[in-house]
Structure 1
Amino acid sequence: MTDTMLSESLASARERLAQALASAARPAESARLLAVSKTKPADMVRAAWELGQREFGENYVQEALEKQAELADLSGIVWHFIGPLQANKTRAVAEHFDWVHSVEREKIARRLNDQRPEALGPLQVCLQVNVSGEASKSGVAFAELEELAETVLSLPRLRLRGLMAIPAPAEDMARQREPLARLRLALEALRERFPEAPLDTLSMGMSDDLEAAVLEGATLVRLGTAIFGARDTSRR
């Protein structure tokens, strides 16, 4: 992808988000674009940064660390880890990321807390919820969400910000909105249960369901292909 193509696709993604927010009668600043840069080279991330994009999502730890090293000169860049998180990868995430969206177990939360360097300040955390109830999907069950949230809120080097989900694909808007609405209601319930917590984040919505996610209150919308083009599955 050329720099011109990237500029056009990023501008298109921003406009799509702006239109979705306007259609939902939401303020323009109430949702942000998270550019999912997994499998994309560091020079493409740099080009997006030069176009004003600051938040980037990565799925694979080693690939992300290599990119972060190449891009260490970029100021204001914010790294989000959004992929499945294994226990043997928590130290790298705790030391090198600003956000993690995929906390689904107490063990992972405690390891992130214990391994987070105090000098970096708290790691911003979203709990991943299995909104579709599929056995093959990652995420904490709704029934166990409050207990996990309480644990994370007790850990001093983590800051619980909200919830994340990757719903099963659906073609029509109504079906897309159903699981996203469940996530929104779950966040509202956590806000009532923990009124002092800064629970302001719904990480949901991708290329196929951005509009539905915005209607249901998404604050971080994760777009990859729409910005950077098709994934290069050879890069891991």
Structure 2
Amino acid sequence: MSIQHNIEHITSLIESAQTKFGRATGSVQLLAVSKTKPIDAILAASQAGQRQFGENYVQEGIEKVEYFSQHYPDLALEWHFIGPLQSNKTRPIAEHFAWVHTVDRAKIAQRLNDQRPADFPPLQVLIQMNISGESSKSGIDESELFELAELISSLPNLTLRGVMAIPQNVPDYTAQLTAFKQLAQQQEKLAARYPHIDTLSMGMSGDMEAAIEAGTTMVRIGTAIFGQRDYSQANA
């Protein structure tokens, strides 16, 4: 199947789930996770109408951002960094990406703010939460949320948009839905204090429907669009 066909199929599934769960049309955005995928695959996706792309690896992502900025500026692609954040790599992220989904500590937020170029719009950021309590995953717990949100909201070069999580990978729909509803509750609490909060980044290929039922506004889909990944080509 072609990338265009895959995007059309995923878009159709999103639209069907929106209708099924009483969500507004267009309330769930598709973020195409293009990590490890070549330029021509991203170009094919963009020609199918996709504009938002997520990258996990700093150097690889920067090379793609720069390539499309130079060769296809009219596409106006929006680049999201969705990988682990290391403090020694915040500068290139601040200088190239429009969004960061994985802010999980004050030091990272401060560095992103300080390193964002003055002539750039504010960096749109999400706080990553660890709602499954897995030690192998990044993210803060509920008790830390408002302290970090308060800091981010005070930084002039960052705009806090919401929260993100990667819940435990389980096949059971009820378990998926329970985890996603926990994150949705945290987003609702944030939005009550910060009215501009509007983004809930959760849901991937295997749990997208549960995420949409729970209230996600952005699903992160990679393999179902681009096919299996070759991680030997990954460039950190």
**Range class of TM-score, shorter chain:** over 0.9
**One-letter identity of the residue aligned with 2:112:** L
Query: Shift of residue 59 of structure 1?
Result: 0.1
Does residue 66 of structure 1 match 2:63? yes
Partner of 1:159: 159
The Cα RMSD (Å) is 1.0
Does residue 223 of structure 1 match 2:221? yes
Query: Shift of residue 179 of structure 1?
Result: 1.3
**One-letter identity of the residue aligned with 1:45:** I
Q: Which moved more, 1:162-171 or 1:73-82?
A: 73-82
TM-score where L is the length of structure 1 = 0.96
**One-letter identity of the residue aligned with 2:120:** L
Does residue 86 of structure 1 match 2:80? no
Does residue 40 of structure 1 match 2:61? no
Partner of 2:209: 211
For 1:133-152, what aligned pairs fall within 5 Å after superposition? Answer: 133-152=133-152
Partner of 1:21: 18
Counterpart of 1:221 in 2: which secondary structure?
strand
**One-letter identity of the residue aligned with 1:129:** M
Partner of 2:99: 99
Partner of 2:231: 233
Unmatched tracts of structure 1, length 5 or more: none
Does residue 5 of structure 1 match 2:40? no
Query: Shift of residue 70 of structure 1?
Result: 1.9
Over residues 37-91 of structure 1, what are the superposed CA-to-partner deviations in whole Å (9 max), with x where a residue is unaligned? Answer: 0000011101111111000000001011111222122332000000001001100
1-side partners of 2:168 and 2:224: how far apart? 19
Query: Shift of residue 194 of structure 1?
Result: 2.9
Partner of 1:120: 120
Partner of 2:132: 132
Unmatched tracts of structure 2, length 5 or more: none
1-side partners of 2:230 and 2:50: how far apart? 21
Partner of 1:173: 173
What is the number of equivalent residue pairs in this alignment? 231
Partner of 1:199: 197
Counterpart of 1:124 in 2: which secondary structure?
strand
1-side partners of 2:45 and 2:170: how far apart? 30
2-side partners of 1:191 and 1:26: how far apart? 18
2-side partners of 1:91 and 1:147: how far apart? 23
Counterpart of 2:231 in 1: which secondary structure?
coil
Query: Shift of residue 5 of structure 1?
Result: 1.1
**One-letter identity of the residue aligned with 2:28:** A
Counterpart of 2:197 in 1: which secondary structure?
coil
**One-letter identity of the residue aligned with 2:44:** A
Counterpart of 1:34 in 2: which secondary structure?
strand
1-side partners of 2:7 and 2:194: how far apart? 37
Displacement over 6 Å in runs of 4+: none
Partner of 1:49: 46
